[in-house]
Structure 1
Amino acid sequence: MATPQTGLFVAFEGGDGAGKSTQVRLLAETLRRGGLDVLETRQPGGTELGARLRDLVLHGDHVSPRAEALLYATDKAQHVDTVIAPALEAGRVVVTDRYIDSAIAYQGAGRDLGSREVADIQLWAVDGLVPNLTVVLDVGAGTGRSRRGDVHDRLEAEGDDFHEVVRKHFLALAEAEPDRYLIVDATLAPDEIHARVVARLRATGVALEVGA
């Protein structure tokens, strides 16, 4: 499956505490002001099944690393088939908080399951659908931890070493495909981050007008 040309697909990736949900909201608001039909979503949790899987994998009892990777793949398969692909085919803009790169970085690199192996599973689950643009919000492990406060899910509770491995893999993914990724320093002010995302969208030649 290739990204339908009638829609636009943008994903925000990065470590915990990077500010992804804020940037999803800001971009959606800007695009709507430009007259575009925008769907905001997230992974895991963008479907009824996904919400159940999110609670299980992030807040339930121990889940083995391989089971964790497969649960995330299940979430993505359902999400793409029932939400993302239909929206893109209808010409909508989809903006998601996390997509396949999170699984590749967290389970492939962080859990040491093999980034190539996890990437293959994730790409199969989403039938090869990749975003037009993936924004990696880069944040150090210590900064992310301080932003998250005292409440942590299973992955957030991992140590700084784990989160630094994840961070480096996000950066490696982005650096390998600069035409499809944008890396932004997540310690910048939210409005500055948003301005850089909008500028990149305007410069990509995507056949959609980005509102001011």
Structure 2
Amino acid sequence: MLLSFRGAQHLRSWPYFYYRQKSHFDSAILLSNPRNLSQFSRAQPISARAMSTGRGALIVFEGGDRCGKTTQTQLLVQSLQSMGLKAELWRFPDRTTPTGKMIDSYLSSRSEVDDAAIHLLFSANRWEKRAAMLRALREGTTLVVDRYSYSGVAFTASKGIPSLSISWCKAPEEGLPAPDLLLYLELGAEDAAARGGFGSERYETLDMQQAVRRQFESLRDGSWTVVDAARPRDAVHEEVKAHAVEAVRRCAEGLEPLRALWSREPLA
């Protein structure tokens, strides 16, 4: 059961918001930002049974380069694991696979690849991991993913090549699992360019990042959760964590079936 408090004002005086199952605490979410307490006060507990038998959540982070995805995905996995949840960090492209090594060579400007071909390589890189992804989710592991199909579509469509339309870019991704939570870290291209390490890879130019941002905006719908990534790291993390815990709970308790990307049809 959820440990009860007398109203939101009383809750503000407590540094932690606890989930309790029977006589012991399963996990806790640190709430150091009082402005966010109203949304957390409606959160539901993750039962011990659901944690042990339910499926994991697919949590995807998207956004332009240098918006903080690497930092936030790492922090989220650490937080979920500290709560006793099974969680893994995945990244796309996965540069360890056969297609990933080709993509890495392209991104580091060590090779040239046709624009349509490189898009299909990025898609194949995700398909290489589909079976492992579904297996992990069904076994109760939450996957926190740094970039997914949305990046593939946005980066290719941003090149402005008429034959590489958004619909063409989306087609190879059909059949991959859809995220249970899509967190879009919003940061202006100019702000991202000012961060350390910008410009080390092929797509890290200001013009390209501005074009990618426009494509993300055209893809964005009501299912996306937009997070202001210009704030301090810990403030971003606490908002991310709150959304993630709720997604994990819903998946663990069977409230969200696995669905296919774009169509949202249930996956067999």
1:145 alignment partner, one of 193, 196, 204: 193
Counterpart for residue 80 of structure 1? 130
Q: Give the 3 Å change call, closer, same or farther, for CA 39–144 of structure 1 in structure 2.
A: same
Q: Which has the higher contact order (CA 8 A, sep 6+)?
A: 1
Counterpart for residue 212 of structure 2? 166
Counterpart for residue 193 of structure 1? 236
Supply the distance in 2 between the matched residues of 1:111 and 1:63 (Cα, whole angstroms). Answer: 17
Supply the distance in 1 between the matched residues of 2:82 and 2:177 (Cα, whole angstroms). Answer: 27
Supply the distance in 2 between the matched residues of 1:46 and 1:150 (Cα, whole angstroms). Answer: 19
Gaps of 5+ in 2: 1-53, 254-268
2:82 alignment partner, one of 33, 40, 45: 33
Contact kept, 8 Å, 2:103 with 2:118, in 1: the verdict is: no
Contact kept, 8 Å, 1:49 with 1:78, in 2: the verdict is: no
Q: Deviations over 1:143-165 (max 9, x none)?
A: 21221436511111x3x232112
Q: Deviations over 1:48-78 (max 9, x none)?
A: 3354133223123222211111110111110
Contact kept, 8 Å, 1:44 with 1:53, in 2: the verdict is: no
Larger radius of gyration: 2
- Within the alignment, does 1:65 sit opposite 2:115 as a pair? yes
Q: Give the 3 Å change call, closer, same or farther, for CA 133–26 of structure 1 in structure 2.
A: same
Amino acid at match of 1:197: V
Q: Give the 3 Å change call, closer, same or farther, for CA 11–50 of structure 1 in structure 2.
A: farther
How many residues end up aligned between the 2 structures? 196
- Within the alignment, does 1:122 sit opposite 2:173 as a pair? yes
Q: Give the 3 Å change call, closer, same or farther, for CA 7–202 of structure 1 in structure 2.
A: closer
TM-score, normalised relative to structure 2: 0.67
Supply the distance in 1 between the matched residues of 2:85 and 2:187 (Cα, whole angstroms). Answer: 30
Supply the distance in 2 between the matched residues of 1:87 and 1:50 (Cα, whole angstroms). Answer: 21
| Cα RMSD for the two superposed structures | 2.1
The structure that is helix-richer by fraction is 1
Q: Percent identity?
A: 29
Counterpart for residue 104 of structure 1? 153
- Within the alignment, does 1:56 sit opposite 2:102 as a pair? no
Contact kept, 8 Å, 2:87 with 2:142, in 1: the verdict is: yes
- Within the alignment, does 1:6 sit opposite 2:55 as a pair? yes
**Aligned to 1:206, what secondary structure does the other structure show?**
helix
Give the CA deviation at 1:111.
4.6
Q: Deviations over 1:19-46 (max 9, x none)?
A: 1010101110111111111111100016
Counterpart for residue 133 of structure 1? 181
- Within the alignment, does 1:182 sit opposite 2:231 as a pair? no
TM-score, normalised relative to structure 1: 0.83
Supply the distance in 1 between the matched residues of 2:99 and 2:236 (Cα, whole angstroms). Answer: 28
